[in-house]
A and B are shown apart, each in its own frame.
Chain A
């Protein structure tokens, strides 16, 4: 559907070098990366608003690299929604149909379908500047989808919204995608948003596409420190593969030995997600396997959960629930046991 080959974009001090990415028909792809990674530029390049220095963009097999935006059938929804402030909500939505000179009957159908889909009939005569963030988002999406684009590009659709509206629009995007099956490329800096919405995720950073995969892949099997760090896998250890006892494979990092599940992992970094690390009282720590004892050096409260840093050494971070926190009466300076499954250790080559 969307096929990006060796795309190179230069804009001021920002460059996207040699980016390649494929998005399947009807897929919801989330491009995630830190602020300033050029996510918006990538979208604008796909939309034809920005010319790449090199590379090729194909939509439905058609090379569109040199086409102007109005010839691409790609709709874009910006973070600030970019509703036309001098037009009513109705005229905003009708804008694309008018520009594309859609015939009256088809146009009426597309319009009422979009209005119904987003349930915005009550807003049609309003001035867009008077709408709430969530309402603006719906109108912007309705306007973008009304012209039946081949591809929908959404730029940080949730970041400017308050938490409750955020969940509402997130659900809306999911519902929408199921209903319309339109190929969507969504960019965000928020990893949780990417996991919640993406069929697949592409992580970009330092001007490159670092990894593309299912949320599970990116979460569990990062291919680089950049991706692991971005996916908030706080525990990343350098080391090397080795043979452990009883014919099992292990990963040696300093004085520590992690047992690995039998797989074909190879590499010089091991990563363990904080939510896979369990905290136990030292007395009940089982023998063998990935079990260690250490001292709590820091507790970071995140409200419903807490990050607990345990100095083994090195430091390993565990994600604890409020319940565990209270039950174990965790505090800094306390000695505790940590354990995790062999299947929680993922090895990659940096």
Chain B
């Protein structure tokens, strides 16, 4: 009887073709867009203050969201990685919830809490922060949809820290705080950094949730949409290209960091 194992060359060839199609599907639009735009038009767009300020606003808002995510999310990630408590699985599920909610729906849901007539909205109104059509609104929208990336990545990082290292630190006289700051955090730092970059990148590319809460001031993805709607494809393209290029840079840095983490 002949071997029933699929001949290697056939299997490899078929899979290569299938894989190639999906790869091309990703590369083609991105590549064509980048290479089809003339550098002079790109430079001109970069001189347009409407475009540059919206790009800066995007980067800044995503950064703010990441900082808030870091301060509030990393401690939670540590607890999830290092302690056992009832309801842990439920909390882990809740954290990943934003990943499955359609983002426009997430925007609506946020409005129901942070809108001026609702509880959090009123509380923040007291200290002069309003969310509708404001930077704060953009930040909470980005925070909501992108914080799972940071928490999950930080959690994995803390999980990989051998509890014995923390134990040894404690016996050598380190308090729980010192153990966290000197041992657990530095050892999980790479995962946390990767999580921050991932969160920042994800926040930057958010559109659906932001457009519900804050159409203005316009972040870059909204601006692309607006230009496309009002003036058509050719006007939207340069901004889209710049956005893609920025995302690519962030992405490359992220891959590099992840690669180093895997190697160590």
Contacts and interface: CB of A to CB of B under 8 A. Distances in A.
Interface of A: 44, 47-49, 68-70, 72, 74-76, 78, 80, 82, 84-86, 95-96, 99-100, 143-144, 147, 149
Interface string B157-189: 000001011011111111100100011001100
Ordered nearest first, which 8 A-B pairs have the shortest CB separation? A96-B172, A99-B173, A69-B170, A100-B173, A82-B164, A99-B174, A49-B167, A70-B173
B172 A75 contact: yes
A76 B167 contact: yes
Nearest to B162: A82
A230 to B, nearest CB: 26
A147 B182 CA distance: 18
Contacts of B178: 99
A78 B173 CA distance: 16
Contacts of A76: 167-168, 171
A44 to B, nearest CB: 7
Given A75-B172, A84-B169, 8 more contacts: A47-B170, A48-B171, A70-B173, A80-B164, A82-B164, A144-B171, A144-B172, A149-B171
B197 to A, nearest CB: 20
Contact of A44 (B162, B165, B167, B182): B167
A232 to B, nearest CB: 31
A82 B165 contact: yes
Contact of A85 (B167, B169, B187): B187
Contacts of B165: 82, 84-85
A75 B171 contact: yes
Contact of A69 (B162, B164, B171, B187): B171
Contacts of A49: 167, 170-171
A31 B169 CA distance: 24
A18 B171 CA distance: 25
B169 A95 contact: yes
B215 to A, nearest CB: 46
A75 to B, nearest CB: 6
B157 to A, nearest CB: 13
Contacts of A72: 171
A72 B167 CA distance: 13
A76 to B, nearest CB: 5
Contacts of B168: 76, 78, 82, 84, 143
Interface string B195-234: 0000000000000000000000000000000000000000
